Amino acid sequence: MSKNNFEDKSFLTYNQQMKKLRKDKKILCNGSEHKKILIRAGYFNIINGYKTPFTCGTDSDGNHNYIPDTSIDQIYRVKLFDDSLRSLLLKYITQIEEEVRTLTGYKFDECNGYGSIAWYDTSAYSPDSTLQNKMGTISKAYNELSRSQLDYVKFYMENHKKIPTWIMIKVVNFSTFIDVINYGKTEVSHSICKLYDMVDEDEHPMVKLLIGSLHWLRRIRNSCAHNERIYCLSRSINQNRSTGRIIEKYFRSLRRAYTRDREQRIFDLLIYFKYYLPYKEYQQFISELKEMLLDLKDNIDFNAFEYIRAQMGIKNLDDLDIIVSLPKKDIDYNKYDKS
């Protein structure tokens, strides 16, 4: 282990941490305000967590070089931005998740004799789904319900012969819930697709977009819940092409760079929100996000900001306004029970 690696892991007082930043990393860190940042957020959370946008190569010993005049304030700004981004995305993801769960529970029962076929009966699912997938979904749901500590779940478990669909849908893990849609009857997934206008050029439901978008929402929600870095979150396309960017109508309306890049990033979530949120709510969301980005741009080095923008998958900040301006059908909730 090199000396520098050893020092990174050894105990340092706050004053020693500040000295190390100034001497070894050439990062401006002086005075009580900078010390307060280290005390409140922690050296690892700030430096190891958010230094990358400010790095510019390495020296002969393999240590990072930093953009001239990089300060602890600027790195902390990135952390604060990521914290705000995490809160903003989580707010809308949980709202969308709750809505889609509610819609699914309603349509699931409607398509199964208005609840006469129970969710734990394999005939409640699509005949095109394998028995293994159907049984696996039912088994996971049962296990998650049995482990639940929620009072109303315990009450139904102890006092009723069966758990109603709406409770199952509400309680199971996000991934299990997605399986319920994926392996459920086509009427369920198709009705949700039509409600949110997730259709192809021939007006056929894009179930791949529905399932893929929900999985990306789930992935980001879990990262938010575990306090992970969010701005740089990405997922590459795999060999069987079941993950990665889903090229749909909004991506096709943007500059070609978006359709060439097949990695899913935060920008993909912005596209999915366009489907799930009514226009005014989407407009408000983009407005909040853009304000956060512009504030960050004004308070950190330009190259560091450009790195963060690119990591989010945004080719140009003006593209945020373009997304809002793209035509979108109103979400007509009143017609959902007639779909």
Query: In the prediction, which pLDDT does 76 show?
Result: 96
Question: Can you tell me whether residue 71 is helix, strand or coil?
Answer: strand
CA 210 – CA 93 distance, rounded (Å) = 14
Whole-number average pLDDT of the chain: 93
pLDDT, greater one: 239 or 26: 26
Backbone φ, ψ for residue 253 (5° rounding): -90, -5
CA 219 – CA 90 distance, rounded (Å) = 11
* Tens-place pLDDT, residues 322-334: 999 999 999 999 9
* Tens-place pLDDT, residues 47-76: 989 999 999 987 777 788 999 999 999 999
* Tens-place pLDDT, residues 165-213: 999 999 999 999 999 999 999 999 999 999 999 999 999 999 999 999 9
* Tens-place pLDDT, residues 70-95: 999 999 999 999 999 999 999 999 99
259's tokens = 């359709």
* C-beta of residue 111 within 8 angstroms of C-beta of residue 187: yes
**pTM recorded for the entire structure:** 0.92
Question: Can you tell me whether residue 232 is helix, strand or coil?
Answer: coil
Please tell me the number of Cα atoms within 13 Å of 305 on its side-chain side: 15
Query: In the prediction, which pLDDT does 57 show?
Result: 83
Mean pLDDT of 248-252: 96
Query: In the prediction, which pLDDT does 141 show?
Result: 97
176's tokens = 């299990």
Q: What is the DSSP string of 318-339?
A: HHHHHHHHS------GGGGGG-
Question: Can you tell me whether residue 51 is helix, strand or coil?
Answer: coil
242 band by pLDDT with thresholds 50, 70 and 90 = low
Of 112-121, 128-137, 239-248, 319-328, the one with minimum mean pLDDT is 239-248
Percent composition of the chain: helix, strand, coil (DSSP 3-state, to 5): 65, 5, 30
338 band by pLDDT with thresholds 50, 70 and 90 = low
Please tell me the number of Cα atoms within 13 Å of 144 on its side-chain side: 17
Question: C-alpha distances in angstroms, 24 versus 20, 56, 64, 67?
Answer: 5, 15, 10, 14
Query: In the prediction, which pLDDT does 339 show?
Result: 59
Query: In the prediction, which pLDDT does 255 show?
Result: 94
- Residue matched to tokens 């769960």: 101
CA 133 – CA 72 distance, rounded (Å) = 51
